[in-house]
């Protein structure tokens, strides 16, 4: 969902490690779930349609607040299916539970929310149902290509995209106007703007970078056109953090920013960070399109001071964007009623009524083209942002996302060691390239232990 992989506190750091242990225990095995019946002639998607009219009870694990309202709409439409919404924990917490329950053979829900970055590891270990066998691949054209690319893994479809987080640059209009700086369109301009902000007040920064947030750095690499993680077949993984051209661009820009102390290495979502966001210590927050709610809820006193602009570009002629966060809804093989579970997951994330409700009542940034291209959605002025029609910027940001990004089949583990490797370099303003190489080495070592065939560069 809208979480960045590492956006969490002390407690979950341990959980992430434990999860990797649990993973290690699973060893990428079959997970002991029931296997789905081979698609019996044309009946697979018909069975899903039929399921909507038959009595069934489903358990849905999700941590999206307000999603009950969307689920209530489903129940009003299909009263035979009872859906129990359970908030079993967020992100890594929930994955730990999910994997333990799958391994134990009981206690898992029918349907579960899984973030894009974690989906490949569930998919490759067959811990989630291949929805293509139930006709879900027919939904492909309803979704933004980048969102669909995140659930189409290894030739199958392992989740229905729920929300996305196209990157955008949220910036303090008041600070930019005061210093007479235009919102930077390129990364070169961004560095210039950073220098001006620093020159105005040595305590201020153009932005912060979280030394513990692998997802944030992944997004910046993605936005630079990078694709350092690749999985092919069942177990071929390549990690090219040392040689990927996108990674190199990221290193050059952010190495400069960190080296000249133009950005602040500061963990996000902390007391201090929010204070900086509120006080104007940070002028920019580059993050996913889900960010407005966080700003509105946490620093209401900055109302009217924010605006949103597209991400700075490396090549302004060929704008490229990335995702940050976003999640899908997957079906767990343990489910006793897989067709009903698939039908529910499909309706929840692709029915126009549901998608609108998810956006308006649960605050999710859409993954479907229908809503992303909807004029009313795009033209809605956002009062907190001084009346700016922010969905136009965010919708365009979504359209510009480079669709071929892949996460590792053990990204949750990789993210858990980010802080000890790349995070150290970010914190020390040091050698990003060397740290990325160390991260790559440790990722490769873990992957090999898990039985993957690693190639790196």
Partner 1 sequence: MTAVAGAPAATTAQRGTHRSTKPRRRGKSPVLTLIMLVMFGYAVLPLFWLLANSSKTSADLFSTFGLWFGGDFHLFANIADTLSYNNGIFLRWFGNTVLYSVVGAGGAALLATIGGYALAKYDFPGRKLLFAVVLGAISIPGTALAVPTYLLFSQIGLVDTPWAVLIPSLCSPFGLYLMRVYAADAVPDSILESARIDGAGEFRIFRTIALRLLAPGFVTVLLFSLVATWNNYFLPLIVLNTPDWFPLTVGLNQWNAQANSGTSGAVDATYSLILTGSLLSIVPLIIAFLVLQRFWQSGLATGSVKQ
Sheet holding 229-232, edge to edge: 229-232, 236-239, 453-456
- As beta bridge partners, residue 328 has 114, 161
47 or 367: CB nearest partner 1: 367
72 or 227: CB nearest partner 1: 72
Contact 111, 330 (CB under 8 A): yes
State how far the Cα of 232 lies from the Cα of 168, in Å rounded to an integer.
30
Minimum gap (Å) between residue 387 Cβ and partner 1: 18
169 or 247: CB nearest partner 1: 169
Minimum gap (Å) between residue 291 Cβ and partner 1: 6
What's the CA dihedral at 339, 345, 346, 350 to 10 degrees?
Answer: 170
Burial grade of 368 (CB within 10 A; 0-12, 13-18, 19 or more): buried
Minimum gap (Å) between residue 213 Cβ and partner 1: 11
- The count of C-alpha atoms lying within 13 angstroms of the C-alpha of 381, restricted to the half-sphere facing its C-beta, is 5
Minimum gap (Å) between residue 372 Cβ and partner 1: 18
Minimum gap (Å) between residue 6 Cβ and partner 1: 11
Minimum gap (Å) between residue 54 Cβ and partner 1: 26
Of 142, 115, 147, the residue nearest 128 (C-alpha): 115
12 or 346: CB nearest partner 1: 12
Minimum gap (Å) between residue 156 Cβ and partner 1: 27
| H or E, element range at 328 | strand 323-331
The SS3 assignment for 157 reads strand
What's the CA dihedral at 322, 323, 329, 334 to 10 degrees?
Answer: 80
- Residue ranges binding partner 1 (CB under 8 A): 1-4, 7-12, 14-15, 18, 21-22, 25, 61, 63-66, 86-91, 93, 96-97, 100-101, 103-107, 109, 269-271, 274-275, 277-279, 290-291, 293-294, 296-301, 325, 360-363
Minimum gap (Å) between residue 331 Cβ and partner 1: 17
Cα separations in angstroms, 386 against 296, 361, 363, 393: 12, 22, 19, 14
State how far the Cα of 100 lies from the Cα of 103, in Å rounded to an integer.
5
Burial grade of 113 (CB within 10 A; 0-12, 13-18, 19 or more): buried
Minimum gap (Å) between residue 67 Cβ and partner 1: 9
Contact 343, 49 (CB under 8 A): yes
Minimum gap (Å) between residue 111 Cβ and partner 1: 13
Burial grade of 198 (CB within 10 A; 0-12, 13-18, 19 or more): middle
159 or 288: CB nearest partner 1: 288
84 or 232: CB nearest partner 1: 84
9 or 55: CB nearest partner 1: 9
246 or 292: CB nearest partner 1: 292
State how far the Cα of 199 lies from the Cα of 155, in Å rounded to an integer.
52
10 or 202: CB nearest partner 1: 10
26 or 139: CB nearest partner 1: 26
361 or 396: CB nearest partner 1: 361
The C-alpha angle 358, 363, 366, rounded to 5 degrees, equals: 60
Total Cβ atoms within 10 A of residue 386: 15
Minimum gap (Å) between residue 94 Cβ and partner 1: 9
State how far the Cα of 71 lies from the Cα of 344, in Å rounded to an integer.
9
Give the phi and the psi of residue 279 in degrees, each rounded to 5: -90, -15
Cα separations in angstroms, 97 against 89, 326, 348: 9, 20, 23
Minimum gap (Å) between residue 102 Cβ and partner 1: 11
Of 357, 360, 366, 367, the residue nearest 70 (C-alpha): 357
95 or 347: CB nearest partner 1: 95
């Amino acid at each position: 969902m809208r979480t960045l992989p590492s956006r969490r506190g002390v407690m979950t750091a341990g959980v992430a490690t434990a999860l990797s242990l649990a993973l290690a225990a699973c060893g990428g095995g079959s997970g002991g779930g029931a296997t789905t019946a081979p698609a019996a002639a044309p009946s697979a998607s018909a069975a899903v349609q039929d399921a909507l009219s038959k009595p069934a009870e489903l358990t849905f694990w999700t941590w999206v607040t307000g999603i009950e309202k969307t689920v209530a709409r489903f129940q009003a439409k299909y009263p035979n299916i009872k859906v129990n919404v359970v908030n079993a924990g967020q992100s890594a917490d929930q994955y730990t539970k999910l994997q333990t329950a799958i391994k134990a053979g009981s206690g898992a829900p029918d349907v579960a929310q899984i973030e894009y970055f974690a989906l490949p590891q569930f998919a490759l270990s067959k811990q989630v149902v291949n929805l293509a066998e139930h006709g879900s691949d027919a939904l492909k054209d309803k979704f933004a290509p980048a969102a669909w690319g995140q659930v189409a893994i290894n030739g199958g479809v392992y989740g229905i995209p729920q929300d996305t987080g196209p990157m955008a640059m949220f910036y303090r209009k008041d600070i930019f106007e005061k210093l007479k700086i235009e919102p930077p369109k390129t990364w070169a301009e961004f560095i210039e703007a950073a220098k001006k902000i620093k020159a105005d007040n040595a305590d201020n920064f153009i932005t912060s970078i979280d030394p513990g947030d692998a997802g944030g750095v992944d997004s910046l690499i993605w936005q630079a056109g990078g694709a350092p993680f690749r999985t092919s077949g069942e177990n071929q993984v390549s990690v090219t953090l040392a040689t990927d051209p996108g990674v190199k661009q990221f290193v050059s820009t952010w190495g400069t920013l960190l080296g000249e102390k133009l950005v602040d290495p500061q963990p996000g979502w902390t007391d201090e960070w929010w204070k900086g966001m509120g006080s104007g210590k940070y002028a920019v927050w580059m993050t996913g399109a889900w960010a407005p709610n966080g700003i509105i809820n946490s620093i209401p006193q900055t109302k009217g001071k924010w605006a949103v602009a597209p991400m700075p570009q490396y090549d302004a002629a060929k704008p490229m964007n990335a995702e940050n966060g976003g999640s899908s809804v997957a079906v767990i093989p343990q489910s006793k009623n897989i067709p009903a579970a698939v039908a529910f997951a499909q309706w929840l994330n692709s029915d126009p009524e549901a998608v609108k409700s998810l956006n308006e009542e649960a605050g999710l940034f859409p993954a479907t083209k229908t809503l992303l291209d909807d004029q009313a959605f795009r033209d809605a002025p956002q009062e907190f942002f001084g009346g700016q029609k922010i969905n136009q910027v965010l919708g365009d940001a979504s359209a510009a996302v480079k669709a071929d990004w892949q996460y590792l089949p053990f990204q949750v583990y990789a993210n858990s060691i980010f802080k000890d490797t790349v995070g150290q370099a970010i914190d020390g303003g040091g050698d990003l390239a060397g740290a990325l190489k160390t991260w790559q080495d440790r990722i490769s070592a873990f992957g090999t232990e898990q039985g993957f065939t690693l190639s790196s560069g």
